Amino acid sequence: MPEDKSLLRIKFAAAAIIFVAVGGIAFATGPVDPTAVKNEDGKYLDKEGNPTYKISADGIVDWYTYSGFRRYHSDCHVCHGPDGMGSTYAPALKDSLKTMSYGDFLNVVASGRKNVSTASENVMPAFGDHPNVACYMDDLYIYLRARANDALGRGRPAKREEKPEAYIAAENACMGKH
């Protein structure tokens, strides 16, 4: 018996999300110029279409950078240290984002990573099913990208743009709110 078309659409959407989360789309290797060249409903993108930060001359950060700071300090700083500076337990993400592509970042956060050497064993757990991280991966990437490029100093950004309507809708959908 053929499957209902809406069920097929749901399965396709889930497969597409998994495909992107595990790096199934070819992204530029390593970092690209972080300059924002496009604004899509409050999310800034670089020339390659990767999410990036926008910080004005008077220090106002875009919403995603601000949200990324909040999300990072909610879920990531315990291991990776305040402001992405690293700890004795986990690497400085401020440094990692200098060489890590957007696709690689999504893959590591969603799927986790295990690095084993003769001196140590480091394990990054998978957060792909943790909504407080998974729903904000772009925010985290944007914040850490700003830190990696020394565009944003340590601490909470003092001034920010308002939360875009498109962001609110996407957040509600990801968190299962209607």
CB within 8 Å of 119: residues ≥ 6 apart: none
Handedness of CA 155, 62, 107, 176 (dihedral sign): positive
Condensed to tens digits (0 to 9), the pLDDT of residues 51-70 reads 999 999 999 999 999 999 99
Decide: 108 and 144 in contact? Cβ < 8 Å: no
Condensed to tens digits (0 to 9), the pLDDT of residues 89-139 reads 788 888 888 989 999 999 999 988 887 666 777 778 888 888 999 999 999
**Domain boundary assignment for the chain:** 5-174
Average pLDDT over residues 62-81: 90
pLDDT tier at 80, thresholds 50, 70, 90: confident
What was the pLDDT predicted at 79? 82
What was the pLDDT predicted at 78? 83
Per-residue pLDDT for 18 more than 60?
Answer: no
Q: What is the pTM of this model?
A: 0.79
What was the pLDDT predicted at 31? 64
Per-residue pLDDT for 13 more than 50?
Answer: no
What was the pLDDT predicted at 30? 55
Assign 60 to helix, strand or coil.
strand
CA distance 163 to 156: 16
pLDDT tier at 148, thresholds 50, 70, 90: very high
Contacts 24+ apart (CB under 8 A), 109-118: 109/133, 109/134, 109/137, 109/140, 110/21, 110/22, 110/134, 110/137, 111/21, 111/22
Per-residue pLDDT for 23 more than 70?
Answer: no
Assign 81 to helix, strand or coil.
coil
% pLDDT > 70, the chain: 79
